[in-house]
């Protein structure tokens, strides 16, 4: 098993086409005019019968709301791809018992799949466009984990194995350059996704085929 890679099944296992897609559920979120972009990295901890994405990017409304994820992958041949942006989960600013602000991202999908990362709001950044000029407090780093598992109804994969389990640590670090660029364009979530996609393509990544909406909704069912 690879410590990093796609959330596609090892040995072509069809039932686990995308664990992180399965994590996401569509929900209503508040519209925001400023976004923060986090660079995501994973460190494999334990598991079997599934590989994991190399990393990705989280485009999050600065004050909380519905975020978007763009995931990246490098396969065994060296091909570098990124997934179409998927909106889901929740990004919010919490307050702990010691009155500390905590930026938090979480999402949950079918079965036991879930991701959570959080970090203290200790920094600030000036976000500017032709429509706004704001000083926003933010967390520069979120950390947490992702876990997923399925018995796949006892069905064997092409390699004769049954089921999968995955546990990885996750770190999300704010990308100041991409964040500034996205907010200069207008600060909408779509601006952030466009900036991330353009950045990845400038570094040799190519888009994967998009998942049909009906399939994405099916994967998002709890």
* C-alpha span between 42 and 6 (Å, rounded): 11
- Tokens 């353009």 belong to residue: 198
Residue 2: the pLDDT is 39
| Alpha-carbon distance values, 16 to 51, 139, 149 (Å) | 10, 32, 10
* C-alpha span between 17 and 213 (Å, rounded): 15
Secondary structure class of 13 (helix, strand, coil): coil
**Long-range CB pairs of 147-156, under 8 A, 24+ apart, other chains included:** 147/112, 147/113, 147/114, 148/19, 148/22, 148/23, 148/50, 148/111, 148/112, 148/113, 148/114, 149/111, 149/112, 149/113, 150/15, 150/16, 150/110, 150/111, 150/112, 152/13, 152/15, 152/16, 155/15
Look up the pTM and report it: 0.77
- Tokens 């409304």 belong to residue: 61
Residue 202: the pLDDT is 95
Pairing of strands 206-207, 80-82: parallel
Asked whether the beta carbons of 103 and 119 are under 8 A apart, the reply is yes
82-138 residue pLDDT tens? 987 788 889 999 999 998 999 999 987 655 778 999 999 999 888 877 777 888 889
Question: For residue 144, what are the β-bridge partners?
Answer: 117, 170
The parts of the chain modelled with pLDDT lower than 70 are: 1-33, 109-111, 210-222
Contacts of 194 (CB under 8 A, 6+ apart): 182, 185
* C-alpha span between 209 and 200 (Å, rounded): 15
The ranges assigned to domains in the chain are 10-208
8-45: burial string, b at 16+ Cβ within 10 Å, e else: bbbeebeebebbbbbbbbeeebeebbbbbbbbbebebe
């Amino acid at each position: 098993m690879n410590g990093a890679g796609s959330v596609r099944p090892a040995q072509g296992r069809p039932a686990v086409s995308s664990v992180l897609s399965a994590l996401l559920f569509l929900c209503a979120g508040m519209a925001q005019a400023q976004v923060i972009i986090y660079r995501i990295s994973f460190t494999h901890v334990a598991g079997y019968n599934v590989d994991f994405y190399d990393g990705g990017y989280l485009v999050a409304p600065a004050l909380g709301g519905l975020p978007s994820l763009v995931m990246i992958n490098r396969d065994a041949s060296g091909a570098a791809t990124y997934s179409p942006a998927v909106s889901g989960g929740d990004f919010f600013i919490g307050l702990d018992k010691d009155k500390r602000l905590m930026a938090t991202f979480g999402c949950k999908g079918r079965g036991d799949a879930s991701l959570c990362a959080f970090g203290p709001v200790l920094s600030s950044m000036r976000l500017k466009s032709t429509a706004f000029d704001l000083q926003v407090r933010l967390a520069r780093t979120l950390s947490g984990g992702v876990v997923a598992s399925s018995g796949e109804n006892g069905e064997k994969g092409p390699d004769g194995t049954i089921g999968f389990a995955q546990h990885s640590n996750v770190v999300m670090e704010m990308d100041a350059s991409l964040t500034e660029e996205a907010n200069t364009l207008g600060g909408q979530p779509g601006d952030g996704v466009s900036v991330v996609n353009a950045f990845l393509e400038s570094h040799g990544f190519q888009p994967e085929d998009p998942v049909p909406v009906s399939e994405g909704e099916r994967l998002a069912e709890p």
